[in-house]
Amino acid sequence: MDAICLRPARLHDGPEVLALWLALLEDQAGRDPRFTPADDAAARWRNDYPEWLRDPAWYLVVAEASGTLVGFATAQRWVPPPVYRASNEVYLNELYVRPDWRGRGLGRRLVAAVQDWAGTLDAVRVRVGVLAAHADGRAFWEHLGARPLTVTMTLERPRPAEAAPLRRAGS
């Protein structure tokens, strides 16, 4: 089994991290088409990636095996809106492990790296979102002890062509 090294992402990792990120987006879109990436998603990512590496409020950690990136996580410092009591938190934005590397504890190690980074910020918790359609993802987080904080629901509006015709009173 290849030794896995976890380390902060570097600028030269950009193309490999982008490939992993696009695989994550493809997986998400396959589970729920509302997560289909925009046509310019990769270009936006390439633009933002160097900034994330420079910004101390962001953390990007990669998992490397035999010189190839096999997973990554991104996180950022997060604070609640000012109407709530202030607390220092971290939001784990993305976590992805290549399918052929899953089941080896790599996801847990990436989460632990984010938790360690959160500790350097004196964060009281790490927040994470998971697609409702991703049962394995929800089970992963629950296994780590995560529990729901809020549930986001959507209510689709009918398109005009799908809308029922209006009826007049008495007709």
Cβ contact 144:111 at 8 Å: yes
Whole-number pLDDT of residue 33: 94
Q: How far apart are CA 45 and CA 61, in angstroms?
A: 16
3-class state of residue 7 by DSSP: strand
**Phi then psi for 125, rounded to 5 degrees?**
-160, 165
Give 169's pLDDT tier (boundaries 50, 70, 90). Answer: low
Give 161's pLDDT tier (boundaries 50, 70, 90). Answer: confident
DSSP code of 79?
Answer: -
Identity of the amino acid at 107: G
Domains, the chain, in order of start with CATH, read 4-143 (3.40.630.30)
Q: Give per-residue pLDDT as tens, 108-117.
A: 999 999 999 9
